[in-house]
Amino acid sequence: MLSFVIRRLGTMALTMLCLTMIVFFLINLEPNLKKLAISQTEMHTSAEQLESWLVNHGYRQNFFVRYGQWLGVVPKQPVTDPATGKPTQRFSFCNDPLEPKFSGILEGDFGCSTKFKTTVASKLFPALGATGILMLCVLLVMVPISLLIGILAGMREGSRTDRTLSVASIASTATPEYVSGVIFTVIFASWLGWLNGSAASASQGITFYNFTLPVMTLAIYGIGYIARMTRASMVEVMTQQYIRTARLKGLSFGSVVVKHALRNALIAPFTVIMLQFPWLLTGVVIVEVMFRYQGFGYTLVEAAGNNDIDLLLGCSLVSVFIVLITQLISDVGYAFLNPRIRVQ
Amino acid sequence: MQVEYIGAFNIVLGVIARFWPVWLGLALVMGASFTYKKRLGLYGQLFDSGVGIVGVGICLFWLFTAIFAATVAPFDPLAQVPVMKDALPGALEPVSKLVYYFGGDKLARDVFSRMVYGSQIVLIIAPAATGFALMVGITLGLPAGYYGGRIDTVLSFLANLVLAFPVILLFYLLVTPGIMDTPIPYAMAGLFFMFPIIFFSVLFWTRYKNRPDRLYILLGLTLVIGGWVYAGLVFDADPFKIVHIDPNQLNIFVAVVFASSPGVFRIVRGLVMDIKTRDYVAAAQTRGESPWYIMLWEILPNARGPLIVDACLRIGYTTILLGTLGYFGLGLAPESPDWGTAIKDASRLLRSFIHPALPPTIALMSFVLGLNLLADSLREQSMKD
């Protein structure tokens, strides 16, 4: 087990290295750098001035040197002020080193956000916290509801309950966040006026009034999927011999379901819920933009829209890390939950 | 100028009437399918369950809407009639006396016509992108599953690499106006569009290599048609100017294929690893068939059930992805009538007007729902056998 985890962690590190390099390459394509230079300098600057801005801020160094600097394996050089010849900070707003120094991701320095004029860390981590709260609420809503639907549907395969719930869960997987978000807003905010169509005020304080719509919208897409997986797993368990034995022993149907079937039927949904995180990430981006909630997704869109290189790299790193770590947890957890795999 | 309105009942009637070519087409196809369902194999079996009928019906509905869009839609999707700005549903256009059935949007365009024309974009890009993703996934998944070993390790690592990208980040990196200035989208298109040609060439080669009369015709056809489409799509150099794709649509197309082919790859690989242990594969190996013959003519036909189901689901998923792209304003032109862009435009103004938002959302949802129901019913039918 330990060697398995270590091997997986090794693959994970390699994957992250490759992915960040790809992201780094794509973000630093020539048109993107041009766009950044234009947005960071005054209007109507000449091409030479744009070029000199890029050179002065260190964007014209060798690709691998810059990647190494970002990673923290190559020392970051301060830029030389062309007027005075003295070393100066690249960006005055985030305390870049004045002498060559290892300062990258590995040292915990995420770099400078050019859009928000602050360090990436001070922007990214509060946003992650806000999204964490949203995710927690979503999971608290999504997991129990979807498991309940799945179990009820899978308990008696082919019954009317099963058919109704199955069609309902198919319908919910057909409703992406931007569709359900619009529909819920129309119903609950415009027509009924019960809930707030914007979660912008949730950064100050979360209330039922401003937080329900984002949570509902995010949960609904996942509910269908998890419910269908739970149903499939439940259906499979219900055909097993030991369930028949328990029934023939004279146990009531309810107690067979709760005591014998549930425990085995819930192993598969665990992996599904874990693998749902990458999907939730995309959903988070849509929902946060739609309801103007200042979290991770909102930051990602701002960073991408304004070509904020370091911030976008930080966001990519975080999201890729979340995807990979949930994959790892799902694999390890599956082996722990399922005794048949542990024996082998 | 005062705008006149028609009542809710007339709106419903009018909309139903506008869809007349669609109803006609639906009636013909559904009627024929019902009559001959015994002879239609898996497709015919779909008509045994309510879910299947509804699924086929919704998919055909949108297919016919896309085909007859010019007849169904009363207005040009991009035409603006200033007086109709934010008009409520049922408003009469003063000049032509035609009705804005679902009202006008903030740029005074007909919401109904835009929804109808939006179906064209979705129904061209989503199935085509899924087709290419299937080709890429199958061509790479077969050897990975069959040979295993190093080739599997490398390909699986690459697939996991792409899968570890959150889709939205991938799109923000790959579908930007800036990237069109670089050769990256064209290089990726050049790579992906090779796969169908490779696939069909190998397919025919392995089967007919001892029968040159058939082989040369089929290979020739593949290379001529494939090369023609390839030239048109990648280099925009179709000599007859028939095959053409806008650069930004190519960009979207490539990004969607890139995002969904690793999923196909994983499924194909898993299926191949399962099927290659069967007796008929061993028999073919004993006969001395070449590995690619076994993969393409022994294993692939036996993996078709799950692949068809996956293709249906994947078209739906691709539709959702296209909507996501539209929602974030990536790739598609800002005035494009596709559903995602329409949802984006309308959702900004939900506080004042809700009518432009509902038609595209319901259209997108119903189409994906139809595909999912179809996939579910197909899965059920193929499990019965």
- Picking from A18, A31, A181, the nearest residue to B181 by CB comes out as A31
> Residues 180..219 of A with a Cβ closer than 8 Å to B: which?
181-183, 185-186, 189-190, 197
> Which residues of chain A lie closer than 8 angstroms to B51, CB-CB?
167
Written as one letter, the residue type at B337 is P
**Shortest alpha-carbon distance between residue B256 and chain A (Å):** 15
Q: Are B60 and B385 in contact (CB under 8 A)?
A: no
To test the contact with chain A by mutation, choose from B169, B176, B374 the residue with the greatest count of A C-beta atoms within 10 A, namely B169
Q: How far is CA A179 from CA A183, B168, B361, in A?
A: 6, 16, 5
**Length of chain A as a residue count:** 344
**Shortest alpha-carbon distance between residue A329 and chain B (Å):** 14
Report CB contact under 8 Å: B364, A300: no
Report CB contact under 8 Å: A35, B351: no
Distance CA A138, CA A206 (A): 14
Residue-wise pLDDT tens digits, B57-66: 999 999 988 8
Query: CA B136, B139, B140, B142 torsion: positive or negative?
Result: positive
Report CB contact under 8 Å: A286, B164: no
Q: In chain B, what is the straight-line distance between the N-terminal and C-terminal CA atoms, in Å? A: 65
Supply the pLDDT for residue B138.
93
Residue-wise pLDDT tens digits, A24-34: 888 888 777 77
Distance CA B351, CA A292 (A): 14
Residue A136, H or E segment: helix A120-155
Q: Per-residue pLDDT for chain B (385 aa), expressed as one digit of tens each?
A: 567 777 778 878 877 888 888 888 888 888 888 888 888 777 778 888 888 888 889 999 999 888 888 888 777 877 777 777 777 777 777 777 777 777 777 777 888 888 888 888 888 889 999 999 999 999 999 999 999 889 999 999 898 888 888 888 888 888 887 777 788 888 888 888 889 999 999 999 888 888 888 888 888 898 998 888 888 888 877 777 777 777 888 888 899 999 889 989 999 999 999 888 889 999 999 998 888 999 999 899 988 888 888 898 899 989 988 888 888 888 787 788 888 888 888 887 777 777 888 888 989 999 999 999 998 888 888 777 6
Residue-wise pLDDT tens digits, A184-237: 888 888 777 777 767 667 666 677 777 888 888 888 888 888 888 888 888 888
Distance CA A182, CA A164 (A): 24
- Whether A65 and chain B come into contact, CB under 8 Å, resolves to no
How far is CA A50 from its chain centroid? 35
Residue-wise pLDDT tens digits, B272-290: 998 888 899 999 999 988 8
Report CB contact under 8 Å: A19, B164: yes
Supply the pLDDT for residue A325.
86
- Whether A40 and chain B come into contact, CB under 8 Å, resolves to no
Residue A41 is given by DSSP the state S
Q: In chain A, what is the straight-line distance between the N-terminal and C-terminal CA atoms, in Å? A: 11
Question: Given a cut of 50, is residue A344 above it in pLDDT?
Answer: no
> Which residues of chain B lie closer than 8 angstroms to A320, CB-CB?
164-166
Report CB contact under 8 Å: A282, B343: no
Report CB contact under 8 Å: A176, B324: yes
- Picking from B164, B181, B365, the nearest residue to A174 by CB comes out as B365
Tokens 């019965």 belong to B384
Residue A187: other Cβ atoms inside 10 A: 14
Q: Are A176 and A253 in contact (CB under 8 A)?
A: no
Report CB contact under 8 Å: B182, A34: no
Q: How far is CA A308 from CA A114, B162, B250, in A?
A: 6, 23, 26
Residue A119, H or E segment: strand A118-119
Distance CA B95, CA B135 (A): 50
Does ipTM exceed 0.90? no
